Amino acid sequence: MCGRAACSLNPDTLCRACDYKDAAGKRRTTSWTKSAVEYVPSSNIGPKDVLPCVVSGSHFGKEDERVLCSMMWSMIPPWHEGDYRKSTLSTHNARLENIKNSKLYSGPLRKGQRCIVVCDGYYEWKAGKTKKDSKQPYYIYAAQKKGVKADDSTTWKDDWSEEYGWKGYKVLKMAGIFNTFKTVEGKTIHSCTIITTESNSVLSWMHNRVPVFLSTEQDSQVWLSEKLSVANAVDKLKKLTLSDGDLSWYTVSTMVNSVLCKSADCRKEARAVAEKKNNPTSFMASWLKKGSAESAKRRSTETEKNDDKPPKIAKEK
């Protein structure tokens, strides 16, 4: 499952981070196409917010093989009426096992409306040992080169050349499907869903579902190919396997639980909640601090009581 993401790269940088080789073998950056919804960089993007997607340029009448398009993350059902943001269906994820026969997803799939959803990383919550235990959020991202820290953008390079391509922060690319929706005002809204599959041993300890990752340039080329049939598209995704070393992760603060919190602190590495509770050093420090505070409070109270008592007068001998 993928219900929260981070994408903080600015639009110009994303053009370079989503570069590709065209049919002639030339390295190109990916340009933006116009969209009725605006991509706003953020470290905490939730369903019905906007994510950048890479799609075939032919869907927009473009000569470019690929373009970037801002899309609302949650596919709008074609039968929906009224405000497109008020759809009550949960459509930010689509199960790979069901998309061929889904009333919602099979149509766009048959039309070849496939996309690549791009982000810096995404968040997942690991359930506690009991129902009473709070869930621990994790930040998951593509494995980076040595020295690149996912929670410190000052370590990210903005380095691209036609010869070597993108050498900066490695973004996550996930298989997705998109659709279009006409508003009563005549605007065309693009919306997308991220395709998920069963977890394998890499992440099954955290959650039983994961996005379908397009880890190589060849994976991306195949997924965006207009010649790919529905059956072949699904079969290709089923063969993609998450391998050790593809991803990295760490625990983050529960501040990410609120989608209203957009701060970069959401993806800052933080000690796990359970670890804090079970850490004897942390517990002892807390106990000593508490004991010290209570002792000081008692002393203060006793002093106040003594101050309120009238002074003793010595008896004359």
At residue 274 the predicted structure's pLDDT band, cuts being 50, 70 and 90, is low
Inside any domain, residue 128: yes
Write the pLDDT tens digit of every residue in 34-85: 999 999 999 999 999 999 999 999 999 998 899 999 999 999 999 999 999 9
Question: How many Cβ atoms sit within 10 Å of the Cβ of residue 274?
Answer: 15
Q: Is residue 145 part of a domain?
A: yes
Q: How many whole angstroms separate alpha carbon 211 and alpha carbon 94?
A: 9
Mean pLDDT for all residues in the chain: 88
Q: Residue 280: inside a domain, yes or no?
A: no
CB 135 within 8 A of CB 125: yes
The pLDDT, as a whole number, for residue 128 is 87
> How far apart are alpha carbons 165 and 86 in whole angstroms?
41
Please give the pLDDT value at position 98: 94
Closest CA to 119 of 204, 201, 211: 211
Per-residue model confidence (pLDDT) at position 304: 42
Per-residue pLDDT of 105-163, as tens digits, reads: 999 999 999 999 999 999 999 998 888 889 999 999 999 999 999 999 999 999 999 99
Within the chain, residue ranges assigned H as helices are: 11-17, 106-110, 217-224, 230-239, 273-278, 280-308
Mean pLDDT of 208-230: 94
* pLDDT surpassing 60 at residue 313: no
Residue found under tokens 């490695």? 170
Q: 150-198: per-residue pLDDT in tens?
A: 999 999 999 999 999 999 999 999 999 999 999 999 999 999 999 999 9
Residue 277 lies in a domain: no
Q: Tell me whether residue 166 is in a domain.
A: yes
Domain holding 12: CATH number? Answer: 3.90.1680.10
- The verdict on residue 292 lying in a domain is no
Residue 288 pLDDT > 80, yes or no?
A: no
Q: Which pLDDT does position 63 carry in this prediction? A: 87
Is residue 138 in a domain? yes
Take residue 160 and report the two structure tokens written for it. 């691209």
Dihedral over Cα of 132, 46, 115, 110: its sign: positive
Rounded Cα distance, 43 and 266, in Å:
6
pLDDT for the residue 227: 87
Q: How far apart are CA 79 and CA 83, in angstroms?
A: 12
Confidence bin at 273 (pLDDT 50/70/90): low
Q: Is the pLDDT of residue 300 over 50?
A: no
Tens-place pLDDT, residues 244-257: 999 999 999 999 99
In Å, the largest CA–CA distance within the chain is 116
Instruction: Find the domain containing 134 and state its range.
Output: 4-266
Please give the tally of structural domains in the chain.
1
pLDDT band at 1 (very low <50, low <70, confident <90, very high): low
For residue 278, pLDDT over 60 is answered with no
pLDDT band at 280 (very low <50, low <70, confident <90, very high): very low
Q: Is residue 294 part of a domain?
A: no
47 Rama class: left (phi>0) / alpha (psi -120 to 50) / beta: beta
